[in-house]
A = this chain, B = another copy of it.
Amino acid sequence: MTLRDSRLTALGRIRDARMSPALTRAMPIDPWRLISRRFSLETPAEGETLFAVANGYMGIRGAHDEGLPSNDPGFFLNGFHETWPIPYGEAAFGFATTGQTIVSAPDGSVMRLYVDEEPLVLGESKLLAYERVLDMRTGILERSARFRTARGAVVQLRSQRLASLHWRHLAAISYEVTLLSGQAELAIASELVTHLPRPKGHDDPRIGVRMDESALAPVNQFSDGTRVLLELRTRSSGIGLACGMEHSIDTALRHTIESNVQEDEGRVVFFLDAEPGVPARITKLLGYHHADKAPPGDLARRVHRTLDRAANDGFARIAEVQRERLDAFWEHSDIEIDGPEDIQQAVRFNLFQIRQASARVEGHGIAAKGLTGRGYEGQYFWDTEIYVLPVLTYTQPHVARRLLHFRYEMLEAARRRARQLGHRGALFPWRTISGEEASAYYAAGTAQYHINAAISYAVRQFVRVTGDEEFIAREGVEILVETARLWADLGFFSQRRDGQFCIQGVTGPDEYSAVVDNNAYTNLMARENLAAAAEGLEMLRDTDPDAYDRLVTRLRIEPHEPEDWCRAAERMFIPHDDRDGVLLQDEHFLNRKPWDFENTPLDHYPLLLHYHPLNIYRHQVIKQTDVVLATFLAGDRFSIDEKRRVFEYYDPLTTGDSSLSSCVQSVMAAEVGDMQAAYDYFLLSVAVDLANLAGNVSDGIHVASCGGVWMALVNGFAGLRDIDGFDLRFTPRLPADWSRMRFRLIFRGSRLEVEMTQEATTFTLLDGSPLTLATNGESFTVSAHEPVVVPVALPAAAG
């Protein structure tokens, strides 16, 4: 049994159990909502991630309102991080020096309920009813619970929580409590609280360093009636933060309010003279602003304004706007699937997580876990460009534009880093929050030069799909030029390889090989990067000679440089096996010892937790797609036969120990016609968080995999490609037990709807200029009001 089969069998058992009557009662499958009705089936660790709400600027872990039970609660702000000197037992020149780790801001999500002076802890009380729902249309996390107190009273709770997609600095909570019968003294303490430091001991390198929240130094406090504000500063990175909460209460009950504030926490407490049947509803508004540099008091004034405006709007209006924003999102970004009912839910969950991670990301990047957890220290990787930007470019191009601008802003640091490594041009950091390299293990960090190519790939795709010439002129070409310069300097024309351009000593996407020579993925992507820089410059010269001249002067581009790039691109060495012609992951891949998969117990995956890197590196074993990914991203360079050989060769060697793998395997399996594999890998992608397949969902959502689910559906099952002559090419292959899939794309301002059935695919231009499309090798034009129906050529094989 292959590794894929055993994983799929395990997933199958999970899905079967999930579909059982008992579990569907406890956790009904709903196309738009994630529902839990059995408190005892939840674990705080997983629930905090899966029920997190976020807007790209802030993210609130799905801890229960009362703060308990909890595993690792947190209130994360994008880019709000602490720095620390990276320790090395043995250091060397050029090693990254400054670690960067996201820290939780003071958590304003806490509403402690005291019943007869005892704090309510769900799970320790007698629960009569319970439901928690993450509604992906309203963007609200809603919880209702009914419990019996120790003195026999029955209390009803209902709460709602959102991170506003419209007002990025705003979160809002509605907390309603009703004594249904009996007698109870009720008090609700609304907190803005700095969590206690978490224990640091763990062995999982995927988590990384944990920072204490003691990284926050108090600066100022404010408290006035129902409003509390805290100003703080991170001790080492010096980032300023102001956060505040405002409250209102709507009730016929008599009540009193007290508030207080200390250095790092504030509290507004509502004491209720509860009477049966009379509800009390508290609205809590939260404002968060942070900045590297801000005049004293400025951040606090911004928080006051955020709270003032929100208080004026009220919870209902804020929730209404939230729904409007999500309606607009789903309008462009939904993928409808008629098939097994859990699939639709899981697909929407993945798309919703993309939304939560990216919606209001202005000025920051997308962390590997979005804002749902501390995994990978809240850092940005190449995941953004290769896995998340495609869906955004096609459905939310303004968000994609912001993320590329964020990389542009990082260029100066990337130039510095290149110089530090002895190179020309710019080298983007493998992992970063601030723009400086933070990877403390260069073999699977700094050596992954391919991040340069990932960013330039995203630039090119964005320009191609949006036609945004202003972006390419102002920022895009500069990124392409500086990344191309790095490649030109990194590689060399090797006499030993008949003058071909070789790139030695780099790590490709597969981190189970490290510091290898001529990684095919890297060389292929560098080739695209080099050619794109020359083309981009040429285009700029033709379209905007003034801008071109300014750029050439500013970057001191020598006339020979574009020629050098083209020559390097043309003569790029792409390693092939001499015997059967298959593309080699790196020049020496086949020389390594085969991995003994047969004698590797299933519980020894991921291998990185059970084997020394040296042991892994010297074997033919792959963490995640590498060559296979190259045949997708640079797909026009390969025949379908070559792609098939690559897929069939490398697939059995790929452990999928990274969540970045199975989505790409799904896409390429679909392209080479292995629909069973395509569907298997799609399932392993779409379920990675909901079924906790990687075992670490407690640390946060796998955002790249969420983007990868879109790729599996749109690039895989619909076969979208944008790298050849047509506007867009499709090769629809609907999984066998799906009857329909429908999605929308935006291409150069035109909105296209694609609806696939087992019989035909319908292309409808919703608005904009006509598009030239192609399916099955034949091209056609789709214009407004003239849908084109293309019968399915290939029968689907499985699914």
Chain A interface residues (CB < 8 Å from chain B): 86-96, 99, 203, 205, 208-209, 420-422, 439-447, 492, 494, 496-497, 502, 504-505, 514-515, 517, 587-588, 590-593, 608-615, 617-618
Q: Is the CB of B88 within 8 A of A496?
A: no
List of B residues within 8 angstroms of A505 by Cβ: 592, 614, 617-618
Report whether B504 and A618 are in contact in the complex, using a CB–CB cutoff of 8 Å. Answer: yes
What's the minimum C-beta distance from A609 to chain B, rounded to whole angstroms?
6
**Can you name the residue of chain B whose Cβ is closest to the Cβ of A447?**
B614
- Asked if residues A592 and B94 are in contact (CB atoms below 8 Å), the reply is no
Taking CB as reference atom, which chain B residue is nearest A206? Answer: B90
Question: Known contacts A505-B618, A517-B588: does B611 contact A90 (CB below 8 Å)?
Answer: no
A–B complex contacts, Cβ < 8 Å, 5 sampled? A90-B205, A92-B612, A422-B612, A504-B591, A587-B588
B439 and A92: CB pair below 8 A? no
Of chain B, the residue at the smallest CB distance from A203 is: B91
List the B residue with the shortest CB-CB distance to A609: B93
Please indicate the chain B residues that have their CB under 8 angstroms from the CB of A93 in the complex. 608-613
Known: A505-B614, A614-B421. Is A89-B99 also a contact (CB below 8 A)? Answer: yes
Can you list the 7 inter-chain pairs with the closest CB atoms, starting with the nearest?
A89-B440, A94-B612, A505-B618, A87-B87, A90-B441, A86-B89, A504-B618
Q: How far is the CB of A412 from chain B (nearest CB, A)?
A: 20
Having A90-B440, A587-B591, one finds 7 other A-B pairs with CB under 8 Å, namely: A90-B208, A91-B205, A92-B608, A94-B614, A421-B614, A446-B612, A504-B618
Chain B residue numbers with a CB within 8 Å of A613 are 92-94, 442
A269 to B441, CA, bound (A): 54
Name the one of B89, B203, B496, B615 contacting A441, with C-beta atoms under 8 angstroms: B89
Known: A492-B593, A608-B92. A615 touches B205 (CB 8 A): no
Q: Which residues of B contact A90 (CB under 8 A)?
A: 205, 208, 439-441, 444-445
Q: Are B496 and A611 in contact (CB under 8 A)?
A: no
C-alpha gap A673/B498 in the complex (Å): 35
**Residue pair A504, B593 in contact (C-beta under 8 Å):** yes
C-alpha spacing A588/B591, complex, angstroms? 12
Q: Residue among A422, A446, A591 with the most chain B CB within 10 A?
A: A591
Q: Which of B87, B422, B593 contacts A89 (CB 8 A)?
A: B87
Cα A611 to Cα B89 in complex, Å, equals: 18
Bound form: Cα–Cα A447–B614 in Å = 7
CA distance A497 to B588 in the complex (A): 12
A591 to B491, CA, bound (A): 12
User: Per a CB cutoff under 8 Å, which of B517, B608, B612 touches A421?
Assistant: B612
Bound-state Cα–Cα, A209 to B609, Å: 27
A611, B88: Cβ atoms closer than 8 Å: no
A618 contact set on B, CB distance < 8 A: 504-505
- A99 contacts across to B, CB distance below 8 A: 89
Question: Which chain B residues lie closer than 8 Å to A95 at the CB level?
Answer: 612
Q: Name the B residues within 8 Å of A422 (CB-CB).
A: 611-612, 615
Q: Which residue, of A95, A420, A587, A614, has the highest number of chain B Cβ atoms within 10 A?
A: A614
A89's closest neighbor in chain B, by CB?
B440
Do the beta carbons of B611 and A94 come within 8 Å of each other? yes
Contact A614 to B515, CB < 8 A, known contacts A93-B609, A205-B91: yes
Residues on the B chain within 8 Å of A593, using CB: 492, 494, 502, 504
Cβ-defined contact, A443 with B443, below 8 A: yes
Whole-angstrom distance from the CB of A682 to the nearest CB of chain B? 30
A608 to B: closest C-beta gap in Å: 7
What's the least CB distance linking A74 to chain B, in Å? 21
Q: How far in angstroms is the closest Cβ of chain B from A245? A: 36
User: When chains A and B are docked, how far (Å) is the Cα of A497 from the Cα of B614?
Assistant: 21
> For A87, what are the chain B residues with a Cβ–Cβ distance below 8 Å?
87-89
Instruction: Report the separation of the CA atoms of residues A609 and B617 in the bound assembly, to the nearest whole angstrom.
Output: 27
In the complex, which residues of chain B have a beta carbon less than 8 angstroms from the beta carbon of A94?
611-615
A533 CB to nearest B CB, Å: 22
- Please judge, given known A-B contacts A443-B443, A494-B591, A505-B617, whether A612 and B420 are in contact too, CB under 8 Å: yes
Which interface residue of A421, A514, A617, A618 has the most chain B CB atoms within 10 A? A618
Shortest beta-carbon distance from A258 to chain B in Å: 45
Closest to A96 in B: B89
With most chain B CB atoms within 10 A of its CB, the pick from A95, A444, A587, A588 is A588
Q: Report the separation of the CA atoms of residues A440 and B420 in the bound assembly, to the nearest whole angstrom.
A: 23
Asked if A88 meets B442 with Cβ closer than 8 Å, knowing A611-B422, A615-B421, the reply is: no
